[in-house]
Structure 1
Amino acid sequence: MNNTTTDGAELWQHFPASGTANFYIDFLKTQVMLIGRQKVIKAALLSYTDDNQKQLLARYPSLNTELDCFSNILQRIEQEKCGLVIPIKAELATEAEQPVSKINVIAGFPLIIDNQIQTIVCLALYIQHQTELNAIMGHLEWGSGFLAFYLQQEKNKRVCQQNLQITSAHNILANVIAKLDFESAGQAFCSDLATQFHCDRVSLGLAKNQKVELVCLSNSIDFSKKLALTTQIQDAMLESVEQNCLLAVPDESLDNQGKPSDDKQHTKAHYLINHATRKLSQMQGNSAVLSIPLYNQGQDEFAFAAVILERAGNMPFSAQEQSWIQAICVLLSQVLFDKHNAEQPIIKQLQNRGLTHWQKLVGRGYPNRKLAVAALASVSLLFSLWHSEYWLAADAQTYSLQQFTISAPYDGYIENSQAKAGDRVKQHQILASLDKKDLGLEKIKWQSQLSKLRGELNQAQGEFDRAKINILQAQLAQAQAELDLVNSQLQRADLAAPFAGTLIQGDLSQRLGDAVRRGESLFTLAATGEYRLHIQVPESRVLDTQVGQNGRLILKSLPNTQLQFTVSRITPVAQAGEGKSTYLLEGQFNNVDQEFMQRLRPGMQGVAKIYIDERLQLSIWSRDVIEWFQLQLWRFWG
């Protein structure tokens, strides 16, 4: 096998440097020659396009060779992406070939680049011994390496060619952009195209009122618009503009009457008309003519200009040149349009824009634009007739109708706490207690003082000392008052709830032993079962409200329940907060049973909606925007 491989390598080194047209045929013949013509029944070389479609590059032994026998191995190679050998029936060998062998096989070897199959070589073989397959697969592997080198060279050539084309296009673009006016830009555009593609003349015309007016010629500033040649150039441009397509004479895809020369190439519903273009070619001695319409960006239905390239008849524009020239025109058409449009009066520019949009709306194509306008008209009609209820939405919060503050009865210390904010308490339930030790000692003090004064009073009465009796009676009354005060403070040392309700403020559990002063607020108790609603209405909407309006409320804690209420009061004082001013409205609940009211808590928040009236739905949605614009107009222009 090593000798065979070495011979193959030498043969590949002397492989003829054929052009692309014959390279694949020569490549396949070389593979057959290396393996042996007596062994190869059929051979084929296939490639894969970017969209994964198979393309036949060459076949052996003749152009009419059937290749159905390769379908199975092609499918397997596409799946497994490696070289394969599959046994086949001996009937594939013809009588002219060698007699039936022990093993007839089909071999295939792919060229894989970047995990993508580029080409596959398939062989239908007639071999005597299975050991010959190793040498055959070796030849296929050598050939795939040579093929990969060739494909890379071709790719590099294409990249270089594309880079040159892009560079030339950018040079033309830069030259056109540098011109200050449309006439100079058009002149530069025509001259650069003529130089780039070796043209005798390049013409540029503007489409206007179903006509095309010649405005620029390459390498010529002054020309007569009344000459027959000028008229014929304009007619050829108009022919391209009206058909909205590129026209070339001569064109290999069309016959002399402008009809497709091959039915397979007939992709349009009508034949192209190129009479004016062919006549222009005949006037110039059967020269090669290429006419291309120019479009404003995004308006491929209406050409604003056209360009015609003319050169010697022995240099017709190839399909590759046509595509490249068309790409340059697409690149520069917007620049030319902008320069021409900038020189027009403002009224004319607006008129052109309006006409363009109108043509898109009523002309053919642009279905999305037509659907959008129809939908907008339908929605506008709907909103002009659609009335609905206007509900004013605002933040709301529940408040208890009755609240009671429990304060410290005297200066003292907190002994214990039995309730805190959020707890529901019963009437006379102890909430907290103050320290009673000092009051107990104070009580004993005044009790002792009373006993002492009573003894002294009895003694003075026995002595009939009137003055002393009066003094002791006064001291006795004072001591009794002090004792009564101490007893009263002892009774109030236990802070009790005056009625059943919910504590909405106060938590003394973290202040045990802390000193409190007389009158200090310790708890706030709200009565349960009776609530009012506070609604914060924005300043811009407060004039929509009035007492007696009905509304609905949904609380965050009860999102599935709607509560009915009536506006009972509108306060005249604004409240500022969160960057806006609001007015407070009070609401009274309607038709809410007592059992449900027991479930409510003070401070519950939600969203209230007040019914105002019926009006156009569009005015409801757009009111904020309209009022904002009115204020801004007043702010800046008064």
Structure 2
Amino acid sequence: MIISEPFIRSWFALQSQLISGLQHAYIDLHGAGVLPGGLTVSYPDNLDSTVELSLAAQLARRSGAPVTGTSISKEDGATILRIACPMQLGEHADGALVVEVKAPPDRQAAVLQLLKWGESWLNLALEQRDEEPESEGYKRLIQTGMAQKDYRDTVTVVLALLRVRTACTRVALGYSTENGVKLDTISELGELDFRSTRVKSIESAMTEALQHGSTVSCSNSDNDTGEFPQQRRLVESGSLSGVFCVPILQGLCNPLVICFEFANGFSHESSRRAVCEEGATIVAPLLELHREQKRPWLHRLKALCHEGIQQLLDVNGRQKRIGLMVFVLLLVLFAQSDGEYRVPASATLEGTVQRAVIAPFEGYILDARARAGQQVAEGDLLARLDDRELLGERRRLRAEQGELAEQHRQAVATLDHGKAKIFEAQLEQAQAKLSLVQDQLSRTELRAPLGGLVISGDWSRSLGVPVQRGDLLFQIAPLDEYQIVMKVSDKDIAEVKVGQQGLLTLSALPRDTVRFTVSGISTMAPVETIEPAFRVEAALQETLLGLRPGMQGVAKIVVGEHRRWWIWTHDLTDWLRLQLWRLWP
């Protein structure tokens, strides 16, 4: 594994808590566990100069023993202990550590002991990290890359972490184009000058590796320069010790090449080559995914169509694709054929004739024999109004009539013609009132005007309720004469004409259909409806057993022949035309 600068800084933070008075620290490490050229880290990171600390570290490393010294602080005159001791971090690295501590000279042994403990802790942490599976490091790399939202941020983070994982100097990424490989990014570099010789050398080396089809390596010590001249030119132009160019061809829509540059410490060892190939193979799908997401939708659509055409032309699974193409062809032909276009509408079954039974005068419900849903015959008693007041009025009028008749006879007998005329007029008036009461008594019994079904009216639980003259008490419709009332949307009403035929399916009789003919169309839609719908009436061409007024269902009016694709899509196209017209200036 590679010892990184953040790892050492976290260790410095722990040492500052253990060693009180720690002012400065400096570490210089070399070996297989650090990047080529070594690793130097200072604490704090804003030191003005580390020359003296570097010299002390070199002295301790050469002597192999701790080197100590003291100085006086210029700020407060306190004693500053400077201790430089060699460090051995197992097989990872070796070097030296220098610390400056504000403490008296008698604390020198205690500080040395704390530094030894810190070195032991550092070795233990490195051993635990060595025991960690290699896949865990790449797992964190992938998670870090996926956490980035922008493609450029993803590439920057992934290439930086990949450089650390492979212990190389730089990592370059390029994508395949029609003219070769186009350089996309170089780790730890912002903007690229694509006209520079350096960039062109990298692109040429990547193109050479892509044409070769497998990993290409080259070092400054190779004598044979004929097989991969572009790799040799890249090494020489960048003063590198060697390069690995790893092309990734399989599993990607667009092949890519990752180039690993080593300023020092390059070798053709299979382990180093395997590390670079493994890292390139792992990060390639992540980079390709983010790159595809960044591309405009039109480019993604073109790539998808190109991929679909290639799959159709592929030999594997040809029979399935031929079957799919035949199915699509048949579907297109079927869509181009003519079909019956029908306008759907909600429908209600009503009686052709509906007779109303209304209250003939003001009164009270005395008895109710029928209710909604009951079948009645012509003349059947439906309800009876209270006639007690009318009977009393009839008796009073009869008595008054008898009295007036007697007075009229006496006036005639006495030859009083004036009174006789008056009594005669009053007698005719009483007779008229009596006839009116008698007529009202005859209408207290409400009878069915025709045989059929009572479709509204239930007074059996409202006995004694007062009614006014003209109140609707019952509605009766015949059982053998029906019409269909449909509500057709305003979007389809222009297609509907009188005389057109259709089919009706009722919710109560879903297995049967009834044919009908349009007989009337309303000229305007009701204002109170939420969505404009026109009333369309139709006459039944046949009847079914079990039909009842008030049944609801779905009717479809046949309006003509159209192409099936138009039938399927005209609602959408009409809506789009309307929206375009609305937005058009």
TM-score interval, normalised by the smaller of the two chains? 0.5 to 0.7
Deviation at 1:302, TM superposition (A): 3.2
Q: Say yes or no: does 1:302 pair with 2:257.
A: no
- Work out which of the residue numbers 518, 524, 538 in structure 1 matches 2:469: 518
Deviation at 1:386, TM superposition (A): 2.1
- Deviations for 1:223-243, whole angstroms, at most 9, x for unmatched residues? 637999975553123323xxx
Closer, same or farther: CA 465–217 of 1 in aligned 2, 3 Å:
closer
Q: How does 1:466-615 map to 2 (within 5 A)?
A: 466-576=417-527, 579-592=530-543, 596=544, 599-615=546-562
Whole-angstrom distance in 1 between the partners of 2:203 and 2:339 = 67
Unaligned runs of 5+ in 1: 1-153, 241-245, 251-274
Deviation at 1:514, TM superposition (A): 1.8
Unaligned runs of 5+ in 2: 1-126, 219-226
Contact persistence 2:349–2:549 (CA under 8 A): yes
The secondary structure found in structure 1 opposite 2:458 is: coil
- Work out which of the residue numbers 594, 616, 619 in structure 1 matches 2:563: 616
Whole-angstrom distance in 2 between the partners of 1:174 and 1:462 = 126
Corresponding residue number in structure 1 for 2:212: 239
- Work out which of the residue numbers 283, 300, 309 in structure 2 matches 1:328: 283
Corresponding residue number in structure 2 for 1:292: 246
Closer, same or farther: CA 176–325 of 1 in aligned 2, 3 Å:
farther
- 1:239 alignment partner AA: H
Deviation at 1:620, TM superposition (A): 0.2
Corresponding residue number in structure 2 for 1:626: 573
Corresponding residue number in structure 2 for 1:317: 272
Q: How does 1:390-429 map to 2 (within 5 A)?
A: 390-429=341-380
Deviation at 1:277, TM superposition (A): 11
- 2:361 alignment partner AA: Y
Which region of structure 1 is more displaced relative to structure 2, 355-364 or 578-587? 355-364
- Deviations for 1:20-78, whole angstroms, at most 9, x for unmatched residues? xxxxxxxxxxxxxxxxxxxxxxxxxxxxxxxxxxxxxxxxxxxxxxxxxxxxxxxxxxx
The secondary structure found in structure 1 opposite 2:523 is: strand
Q: Say yes or no: does 1:433 pair with 2:387.
A: no
Whole-angstrom distance in 1 between the partners of 2:208 and 2:536 = 79
Whole-angstrom distance in 2 between the partners of 1:609 and 1:616 = 18
Closer, same or farther: CA 576–158 of 1 in aligned 2, 3 Å:
farther
Deviation at 1:485, TM superposition (A): 1.6
Corresponding residue number in structure 2 for 1:53: none
TM-score, structure 1 as length reference? 0.59
- 2:477 alignment partner AA: A
The secondary structure found in structure 2 opposite 1:586 is: strand
Deviation at 1:412, TM superposition (A): 1.9
The secondary structure found in structure 2 opposite 1:302 is: coil
Contact persistence 2:243–2:259 (CA under 8 A): no
- 2:267 alignment partner AA: A
Whole-angstrom distance in 2 between the partners of 1:442 and 1:229 = 121
Deviation at 1:313, TM superposition (A): 2.6
Whole-angstrom distance in 1 between the partners of 2:149 and 2:270 = 27
Q: How does 1:73-152 map to 2 (within 5 A)?
A: none
Q: Say yes or no: does 1:206 pair with 2:175.
A: yes
Q: Say yes or no: does 1:196 pair with 2:143.
A: no
- Paired residues in the alignment total 439
Whole-angstrom distance in 1 between the partners of 2:572 and 2:421 = 87
Which region of structure 1 is more displaced relative to structure 2, 360-369 or 189-198? 360-369
Deviation at 1:384, TM superposition (A): 4.7
Whole-angstrom distance in 1 between the partners of 2:499 and 2:145 = 77
Whole-angstrom distance in 2 between the partners of 1:451 and 1:478 = 13
Closer, same or farther: CA 472–324 of 1 in aligned 2, 3 Å:
same
The secondary structure found in structure 2 opposite 1:573 is: coil
- 2:211 alignment partner AA: L
- 1:628 alignment partner AA: W
The secondary structure found in structure 2 opposite 1:470 is: helix
- Deviations for 1:489-528, whole angstroms, at most 9, x for unmatched residues? 1111111112212222212122211222222222222233
Contact persistence 1:176–1:189 (CA under 8 A): no
The secondary structure found in structure 1 opposite 2:286 is: helix
Whole-angstrom distance in 2 between the partners of 1:174 and 1:420 = 73
Whole-angstrom distance in 2 between the partners of 1:403 and 1:328 = 81
Aligned residues: CA RMSD: 4.4
Deviation at 1:362, TM superposition (A): 3.4
